[in-house]
Amino acid sequence: MQFSQVEEEEPELSIAPLIDCVFLLLIFFLVTTMLKKDDKSVEHIELPSSASALEVPPDDSMFVIALDADGEIYYEGEPTTIQLLHYRLRAIEQTDPERRIRLDTDGETPFNRVAEVLDICAFRNLRNVGVRTFHEKYD
């Protein structure tokens, strides 16, 4: 009695789904690394130096208020007025009073202008305000 031998087929590895997966991963990493964060700082501000500066990790939910050497106010990188700043800080007070606020001031900013902005924050019960300074260790 003879049995016919059936040749077994070699298993093949289909490479097409693997290539699709690699391209999807490549696209994912390209998109996530290329997302640029909005820079909310004002370019022409020279921060005062500080020997006791602490490095704080960046926080996208933080609001940035800047004062240049002439005392002009910027909110999130855009020029604003005291009245608009009151209005915007009132909205923050109502939605999230624990929200972090970063105050960037030029070294030549008149102190009364800095005190005015800090007073507005205190009036709106916004206590989580930090003043940004420069330290060469964190540059």
Query: Do residues 55 and 134 make contact, with C-beta atoms less than 8 angstroms apart?
Result: no
Give CA separation, 60 vs 12, 117, 119, 121, 126, in Å: 49, 21, 24, 19, 18
* pLDDT (tens place) for every residue of the chain, 139 residues total: 666 666 777 777 788 888 899 999 998 888 877 665 555 667 777 777 776 666 766 666 788 889 988 889 999 888 999 899 999 999 988 998 888 888 888 888 888 998 999 999 999 999 888 888 775 654 5
pTM (global) more than 0.85: no
CA 69 to CA 67: how far, in whole Å?
Answer: 7
Q: Which helix (H) or strand (E) holds 130?
A: strand 129-132
Q: Which domains does the chain have, with CATH numbers?
A: 63-138 (3.30.420.270)
